[in-house]
Amino acid sequence: MKRIKVVLPIVIAGVLLLAFVFADGEEPLSLIRIAKDPALSVRALARLRVDVRQDLETCLLAMAGHRDLTLLRLKGVRFTVLMRNAGEREILVVGTSAPGALASLRSAGRAVAVEPRTAVFWTDRGSPAEAVPSGLPRKAISPRSVLPYLVMRQPEHPTLQAAAQDPLVETIVSLVSASGLSASVQTLQDFQTRYASTSNCEAAGESLFSSFSALGLDDVRFEPFAFASYTSRNVVAEITGETYPDDIFIICAHYDSTSPAASRETLAPGADDNASGTAAVIEAARVLAAFPLDFTVRFIAFSAEEWGLYGSRAYADAARQAGERILGVINLDMIAYADALPEDIQIVVNPASEWLANAFQVAAANYGAVGATKIVDASMIYSDHSPFWDSGYPALLAIEDEPLNNPFYHRTTDTLDRLNIDFLTEASRAALGLLAELGQPIREGCPATPVGLSASSTVYSSLFNAVKAVHLTWDSRADAAGYNVYRTSHSHLGYVRINGAPVTRTEFTDDEMSWDAPSYYVVTAVGATGLESNRSREVAVVPGTGSPSSNAQGQCILRLRRAR
Amino acid sequence: MRARRLAAGLAAVVLGLAGPARAQEISLSLAAGSVFAADAAYRQVYGGSGLALEGNIWFKLKVPLGVAVGLGRLADDGFAVPMDGGEEEYPVEFRRTSVPLVVFYQVGGKAIDVRFGAGLGIHSYRESWETVDLVHEGHKVSFRLVLAATYALLDRLSLLCSVSYDSIRTGAGSPLAENADVGGVQLLGGLSFRIF
C-alpha cells in the first residue's frame, strides 16, 4: 500500500508530462533565432520540421512551439528565444545599419538585434509597419515557412570570361533612351507623393497601367493586395514567350515612395527611390515590345515596398501557389544617384541566385558602360527581390550603393535634379541587356529554338574515379539540319559546345563531366545554311539538387512583333 | 610518416644483413598467380582476381631468420560500375607495382622449407579509364604478411608456393568506395633458385 502511494503519483505525473509533450492542441509559438553554424544543415532543419520564416546571412528566424524548442535543444541546435506568443503578431525585420537606428527603433516599439545590421521589430498595439521610424528599411516576416527554398552554401566565384556581344541584343540595348528615362522619372515625381496609402500612389499606378497598355504589351493588369489596413495594386504586363510561354523572367521595381512621417502623405517625390527603377522597367518594356521573344518576360511595378515589401510579397506568394515557373527576377531599386564617378552598380543576391549576378556582370560589361559588383548577402532583404527568395525564385537586386550613400534617400529632396541620368541610362542598358539575353529575341531566318530538352544522368564509378554520363534528349525541329549541344558548369554562363559536327539525332550523351560537379545544358538547332537558333531552356544536372554564345554564324534578320 | 620510417628501417636492416651479413643462403624466386581483392568495391569493378607476378631475393642467415626483398606487379581490367542502372560500358584498368620487404622465420627439413614473414610493401598504383580521360595514381606503404613454402626439386631448384596478405588502404576513393583498399590475398606459385 505504501509503495502504491509512492508509485502512483509518479506514474500520473509521467503520463501528464507525456500528454503535455505530445499533445496535438494549439500551442503558443515563439520567435526564435537559430545561429547558422557549419554543422547546421537544411536537411537537419527539415527533419526537425523547423518553421523558418526568414533566412539571414548569419542566422535564421523561425517560429517554434514548446515541442519544437524541446526537440531543438535535444538535437543541440543553438537558438535564442526572441519573443514568446509571436504566432499572431505582425513582425518586421528592420535594417539597422544607420547610426542610432536600433535606439530609434526601440523607442518606437519592441526591437531585438539579431545581427549587427538587422533587428526584428514589433509593437504591442497597432501595425509595426506604421510605427517603424522613417528611413529604416524594413520587411514583413514571411507568413509561411521558407524552409523548402532554403539554400545554405558558400558563394561561388566563377571566372567571368569576356563573352561575345550578341549584335541583336546590342541593337536592342542601344534603343534605351536617356530622355525617355528622364521623362518617366519626372512623370512619377509629379504625383508629389506615391506613399502607398495615398490616392496619389493609386493614380501613379493608373499612369503605369496606361503606359504599359500604350506599348501593346500582353495581359496588362492590376493585381490588388491588402496591407496594414489599406489596399494597393501592383501593375503587371508581359510579353508572352513564343517558344516557352510558361517560363518567365521578370524585371521589376517598386513605384511607391516615402519621406519623413510628417510629409510622406503629401510630398515624397522618390525620384531615385524608386522612380528610377520604375522608369527603367518602363523603358525595358518600351524597347522589348517590338521584339518577339522565346521566353515570357514580365514587367512589374510593385506597390507598398516602403511599408514592408507587401506588394512583392503578395505577388511572389501567389506565383508560388500557382506553381509559376519564374526563372529569374531583376529587381531595380535606386539606380540613378551617383555619389562618385564613375559610379558602379551593386548586384545583391542570395547563394541560390548567384548565377543571376554573374550573368548581370557579363551583361553590364557587354551592354552598359557601367561596372557591376556582386554582393552575396542573404541579409540584404529590404527590397522586392526578397519575397522571391522566400518563394524559391532566383532574384537579384540592382542598387547604386550597398550600403546606401544617397543623402536624399527617403527625403522630400529626392528629386530628378539630384540624379545622374547617364548612370541611370547605363544601368538600364545593363539590366535590359541581361533581360534580352534571358528572354531571347527570336531571329527570323534562323531555325526555331529547340524545345523538350530533358536530361537523365548515371554515375559510373571505378575505384578512384567516376563520370557522370548525362543523356540528353529533345524534340525534333522541322527546320533543323542538326543540333549543337552546349554545357557549362555555372548556370547561364560560359556555355561551351561539346559536340563536333552538328548532331543529327535528337539525343546526345555527355560523359566528360566530373560526377560531383553541377552541369547545365542547352541545345540549339542548326539550319541547312548553317544559321543557329537561340538556345533551348537550360536543364541542370546537379549532384544531390553565360556568357552568351554567338548565336548566328551568318546574318539573321530581326523579326519585329506586330503592333497591337 | 610512420610507415616511411618503418620502410627505411627495414631497408636498413635488409642492407645491413644482405651485404656483410654473411648470409648462409641466397635464393631468387619467380612466381605468378592471383590477387583476391579484399575490397568489395574492387571486386565489383575488376572481378574476383587479377594476374600477379612477383620476384624475390631471399637472404637466409645462419640463424633461422632472413629477409626478403622483391618486386611485384598486378594487372587487372574491368568496367566502371553504374551507380543507378546505366547501360554504357566504360573499360578501366588497374596496375600496381609493389616492393615487398619482409623479415621471415624459416623452418623445415631436407626437402621442404616453410617461411613465415612479416614486413612492409611499398606500392605504386595507377587506375585509368580507356575511353575517358581519367587517371588516378598513388603510392602507399602497407603491412604485409607472408607464408611461403618450397619443395626441393633439384639441388638448387625448388618449387615455391606463397600466400601473402597486404592491406593497402589508399585513403582515396570514389562514389563506389570511400577509402579504397587495393590489397588482398595474393596466391603465387613458381620456382626458387638457390644462388649459394
Lowest mean pLDDT among A152-161, A213-222, B67-76: A152-161
Q: Which residue of A has its CA nearest to B77?
A: A462
Instruction: Check pLDDT > 50 for residue A560.
Output: no
How many Å apart are CA A302 and CA A400, to the nearest integer? 19
pLDDT in tens, A292-335: 999 999 999 999 999 999 999 999 999 999 999 999 999 999 99
Alpha carbon A389 to its chain centroid, in Å, reads 5
How many Å apart are CA A489 and CA A21, to the nearest integer? 48
Summarize the confidence of residues B26-36 as an average pLDDT.
Answer: 95
Supply the pLDDT for residue A543.
73
Write the DSSP string, A355-399.
Answer: HHHHHHHHHHHHH-SS-EEEEE-TT---STHHHHHHTT--EEEEE
Asked whether the beta carbons of residue A464 and residue B136 sit closer than 8 angstroms, the reply is yes
How many Å apart are CA A180 and CA A182, to the nearest integer? 5
The set of cell numbers assigned to A559 is 523579326
Chain B residues closer than 8 Å to A464 by CB: 127, 136, 138, 170, 172-174, 180
Helices and strands: H and E segment counts in chain A: 14, 25
Q: Does B83 contact A at CB distance below 8 Å?
A: yes
How many Å apart are CA B161 and CA B60, to the nearest integer? 17
- For A461, the closest of B39, B174, B182 (CB atoms) is B174
Q: How far is A355 from chain B (nearest CA, A)?
A: 27
For an interface test with B, give the residue of A457, A464, A509 to mutate (most B CBs within 10 A).
A464
Query: Would you place residue A172 in the very low, low, confident or very high pLDDT band (cuts 50, 70, 90)?
Result: very high
Asked whether the beta carbons of residue A459 and residue B82 sit closer than 8 angstroms, the reply is yes
The CA-atom distances, in angstroms, between A378 and each of A51, A390, A397, A554, B47 are 18, 11, 11, 43, 50
Supply the pLDDT for residue A158.
63
Asked whether the beta carbons of residue A458 and residue B82 sit closer than 8 angstroms, the reply is yes
Asked whether the beta carbons of residue A458 and residue B85 sit closer than 8 angstroms, the reply is yes
Most confident of A56-65, A149-158, A545-554: A56-65
Chain A residues closer than 8 Å to B81 by CB: 460-462
Summarize the confidence of residues A1-23 as an average pLDDT.
Answer: 58
Query: Would you place residue B42 in the very low, low, confident or very high pLDDT band (cuts 50, 70, 90)?
Result: very high
Q: Which residue of A has its CA nearest to B125?
A: A464
CATH superfamily to which A443-556 belongs: Immunoglobulins (2.60.40.10)
More confident of the two residues A249 and B12: A249
Residues of chain A with CATH 3.40.630.10: 168-439
Supply the pLDDT for residue A342.
86
Query: Would you place residue A411 in the very low, low, confident or very high pLDDT band (cuts 50, 70, 90)?
Result: very high
Other Cβ atoms within 10 Å of A509 Cβ, number: 15
CB A103 within 8 A of CB A70: no
- For B172, the closest of A464, A466, A469 (CB atoms) is A464
Asked whether the beta carbons of residue A460 and residue B83 sit closer than 8 angstroms, the reply is yes
The set of cell numbers assigned to A274 is 524608386
How many Å apart are CA A14 and CA A11, to the nearest integer? 5
Instruction: Check pLDDT > 80 for residue A155.
Output: no
Instruction: Check pLDDT > 90 for residue B126.
Output: yes
Give the whole-number percent of chain B exceeding pLDDT 70. 88
Other Cβ atoms within 10 Å of A444 Cβ, number: 10
CATH class of the domain comprising A168-439:
alpha beta
Q: Does A544 contact B at CB distance below 8 Å?
A: no
Query: Would you place residue B109 in the very low, low, confident or very high pLDDT band (cuts 50, 70, 90)?
Result: confident
Chain A residues closer than 8 Å to B180 by CB: 463-464
Query: Would you place residue A130 in the very low, low, confident or very high pLDDT band (cuts 50, 70, 90)?
Result: confident
Q: How far is A542 from chain B (nearest CA, A)?
A: 15
Lowest mean pLDDT among A262-276, A487-501, B2-16, B34-48: B2-16
Dihedral, A317, A320, A321, A325 alpha carbons, nearest 10: 150
Lowest mean pLDDT among A124-133, B35-44, B74-83, B112-121: A124-133
> In DSSP terms, which residues pair with B190 in a beta bridge?
B31, B160
Chain A residues closer than 8 Å to B134 by CB: 462, 465, 467
Q: Does A514 contact B at CB distance below 8 Å?
A: no
At B139, phi and psi to the nearest 5? -130, 150
- Which of these, A325, A285, A539, A551, lies nearest to A437 by C-alpha position? A551
- For A464, the closest of B82, B88, B127 (CB atoms) is B127
CB B115 within 8 A of CB B151: no
For an interface test with A, give the residue of B74, B129, B179, B182 to mutate (most A CBs within 10 A).
B129
What is the side-by-side order of every strand in the sheet holding A507-514?
Answer: A507-514, A466-473, A454-461, B81-82
Q: How far is A472 from chain B (nearest CA, A)?
A: 14
Q: Does A463 contact B at CB distance below 8 Å?
A: yes
Chain A, residues 464-503, CB within 8 A of chain B, namely: 464-467, 469
Interface A-B: count of C-beta contacts within 8 A = 84
Q: How far is A338 from chain B (nearest CA, A)?
A: 51
Lowest mean pLDDT among A97-101, B34-38, B164-168: A97-101
Q: SS3 of A455, please?
A: strand
More confident of the two residues A42 and B34: B34
Chain B residues closer than 8 Å to A465 by CB: 80, 92, 127, 129, 134-136, 174
Q: Which residue of B has its CA nearest to A466?
A: B174
Those residues whose C-beta lies under 8 Å from the C-beta of residue A195, and which sit 6 or more positions away, are A201, A256, A257, A258, A259, A264, A265, A268, A306
| CATH among 1.10.10.10, 2.40.160.20, 2.60.40.1260, 3.40.50.300 for B2-14+23-194 | 2.40.160.20
Other Cβ atoms within 10 Å of A85 Cβ, number: 10
- In one-letter notation, the amino acid at residue A354 is E
pLDDT in tens, A475-522: 999 999 999 999 998 888 889 999 999 999 999 999 877 777 889 999
Instruction: Check pLDDT > 70 for residue A65.
Output: yes
- Which of these, A135, A184, A146, lies nearest to A332 by C-alpha position? A184
Q: Does B38 contact A at CB distance below 8 Å?
A: no
Q: SS3 of A151, please?
A: coil
pLDDT in tens, A448-477: 999 999 998 888 999 999 988 899 999 999
Buried b (16+ CB within 10 A) or exposed e, A59-84: bbbbbbeeebeebbeeeebebeebbe
CB A335 within 8 A of CB A402: no
Instruction: Check pLDDT > 90 for residue B182.
Output: yes
Chain B residues closer than 8 Å to A509 by CB: 88
Please state the ipTM of this predicted complex.
0.85
How many Å apart are CA A533 and CA A290, to the nearest integer? 19
pLDDT in tens, A360-401: 999 999 998 889 999 999 999 999 999 999 999 999 999 999
Chain B residues closer than 8 Å to A460 by CB: 80-83, 86, 88, 90
- For B42, the closest of A460, A463, A466 (CB atoms) is A463
Long-range contacts at A34-41 (CB < 8 A, ≥ 24 apart): A34/A59, A34/A60, A34/A61, A34/A62, A34/A72, A34/A77, A34/A78, A34/A79, A35/A59, A35/A78, A35/A79, A36/A60, A36/A152, A37/A78, A40/A77, A40/A152, A41/A152
Q: How far is B88 from chain A (nearest CA, A)?
A: 9
Summarize the confidence of residues A215-230 as an average pLDDT.
Answer: 94
- Which of these, B11, B44, B42, B58, lies nearest to B166 by C-alpha position? B42
Return the half-sphere exposure (C-beta side, CA atoms, 13 A cut-off) of residue A37. Answer: 8
- For B82, the closest of A460, A509, A516 (CB atoms) is A460
Beta strands in A403-445 (DSSP E): 443-444
- For B175, the closest of A511, A512, A515 (CB atoms) is A515
Our CA angle for A180, A184, A186, nearest 5°, is: 115
Residues of chain A with CATH 2.60.40.10: 443-556
Q: How far is B55 from chain A (nearest CA, A)?
A: 27
- For A462, the closest of B85, B127, B138 (CB atoms) is B127
Q: Which residue of A has its CA nearest to B169?
A: A463
Asked whether the beta carbons of residue A461 and residue B81 sit closer than 8 angstroms, the reply is yes
The CA-atom distances, in angstroms, between A303 and each of A203, A212, A237, A279, A386 are 12, 16, 15, 14, 14
Asked whether the beta carbons of residue B83 and residue A467 sit closer than 8 angstroms, the reply is no
pLDDT in tens, A189-201: 999 999 999 999 9
How many Å apart are CA A142 and CA A132, to the nearest integer? 17
CB A220 within 8 A of CB A237: yes
Write the DSSP string, A458-515.
Answer: EEEE-SS-EEEEEEEE----TT-SEEEEEEESBTTB--EE--SSPB-SSEEEEEEEET
Supply the pLDDT for residue A28.
85
- Which of these, A406, A421, A416, A423, lies nearest to A371 by C-alpha position? A423
Chain B residues closer than 8 Å to A466 by CB: 80, 83, 174-176
Alpha carbon A529 to its chain centroid, in Å, reads 40
